[in-house]
Amino acid sequence: MWKYLFRRLGASVALLLVVATILFFSIHLLPGDPVLLILGGDAAQPTPEQIAMVRAKLGLDKPLWLQYLSWLQRVSQGDLGRSLVDDRPVARDLANRLPRTLQLVIPATLLSTAVGVSLGMFAARRRGRLADPIASSTALMGFSMPVFVVGMLLVALFSITLGWLPPTGYVPFGEDPAGFLRHLILPALALSAAPTAITMRMTRSSFLEQSALDYVRTARAKGLPEPAVAWRHVLRNALLPVVTVVGLQIGGMFAGAVLVEYIFSWPGLNTLLLNSISTRDYPIIQGVVLLAAVLFVFVNLATDLCYALVNPRIRYE
């Protein structure tokens, strides 16, 4: 197990280094000059001396490879730099925004996993009946619809037509727990739609595959009740591939949260990223994307370790 753990940790560190390298150089290929934006744009008509002074202050006058090495050294020490626009520490902005994104992603993950596994098991146990194609068609619809379409439909139904829930906004949980939950429902539903469909399909397929194996027939031949066979034997083994899928979906939810946060005016990491792209704020962009990569790699590492714990064969391959 320890050998497997160190091998996965080494691969994760190497992956993060590759992501950081690609991130740094790709961001500097973006059109536009952040120095001109800081000085007020072309309308302000900054002098060459002013531009050169700001470049020197920000370290943008150095060769790109020197900027990269300097940035990589600072990042390895936990220093993500300061914003080019308002000179605030990037780490402070990330610390303020990350909890809000997690407040959206974690409930959506729990919701999609619970509903997807339940619907998948329900459809598998009713294979050949009317409930199976209905559940499968609903899952296909949820998977096919883009997240922004789901979000707008939810707003149109529950906010505009019925008036039950607020269409946009965010209320801190500490100030108003009930208000926070009311503002969370629609974004969480929109974000969890596609993952729920994927989890449902994977659970159904895995459950049916396990149900056809010899140990299930043996359990039934011994006289075990069907619910005991389904819950204690089939589902436990059927969830092994679902664990991997759920882990991958968490990373996908961070990507999908970009549109969800924008549609519902949720002040998380992704709205910070969109604002930073419009102002060419390189340190903020690098910090947000790098943090998302770290979270994605960490979640996948945890998923691999959980899979290795429940399936010992993985450790020895």
CA separation for the pair 265, 36 (Å, rounded): 28
Q: How confident is the model at residue 185 (pLDDT cuts 50, 70, 90)?
A: very high
| Cα(291)–Cα(269) distance, integer angstroms | 10
Residue 45, pLDDT > 50, answer yes
Q: What is the pLDDT of residue 109?
A: 92
Angstrom CA distances, 290 to 23, 80, 98, 119, 152, stand at 8, 10, 13, 35, 30
Q: Would you say 39 and 279 are in contact if contact means Cβ atoms under 8 Å apart?
A: no
Q: Could you tell me which of 274, 279, 315 has the C-alpha nearest to residue 97?
A: 274
CA distance 199 to 243: 9
Q: For residue 182, what pLDDT is reported? A: 93
* Average model confidence (pLDDT) across the chain: 82
Q: Is the model's pLDDT at 316 over the cut of 50? A: no
Amino acid 155: pLDDT? 92
Which amino acid type is present at position 137? Answer: S
| DSSP 8-state assignment for residue 157 | I
Token pair listed for 142 = 């949820």
* Averaged pLDDT for residues 271-283: 82
Which one is predicted more confidently, 172 or 223?
172
pLDDT digits (tens, 9 = 90+) for 133-154: 888 787 778 778 888 888 899 9
Helix 269-279 / helix 235-263 crossing angle, nearest 10 deg: 40
- For residues 44 and 103, which has the higher predicted lDDT (pLDDT)? 103
User: Averaged over 269-281, what is the pLDDT?
Assistant: 83
Q: Which whole number is the average pLDDT over 17-46?
A: 74
Give Cβ neighbours of residue 171 (< 8 Å, ≥ 6 apart). 179, 180, 182, 183
pLDDT tens digits, residue range 240-271?
888 888 888 887 788 778 889 888 989 888 88
- pLDDT category of residue 158 using cuts at 50, 70 and 90: very high
Going by pLDDT thresholds of 50, 70 and 90, the confidence category of residue 28 is confident
- Percentage of the chain surpassing pLDDT 90? 13
In the predicted model, what is the mean pLDDT of residues 287-314? Answer: 77
Domains of the chain: 32-79 (no CATH), 94-316 (1.10.3720.10)
pLDDT for residue 278: 79
Say which amino acid occupies 109.
T
Handedness of CA 4, 6, 8, 14 (dihedral sign): negative
Is pLDDT above 70 for 299? yes
pLDDT: is 119 or 39 the higher one? 119
Render pLDDT for 74-87 as a digit per residue (tens, 0 to 9): 888 888 888 877 77
The pLDDT of residue 187: 93
Confidence of residue 44 (pLDDT cuts 50, 70, 90): low
pLDDT tens-digit readout, 75-119: 888 888 888 777 788 888 899 899 999 999 999 999 999 999 888
Enumerate residues 6+ apart whose C-beta is below 8 A from 121.
Answer: 203, 204, 207, 230, 235, 238
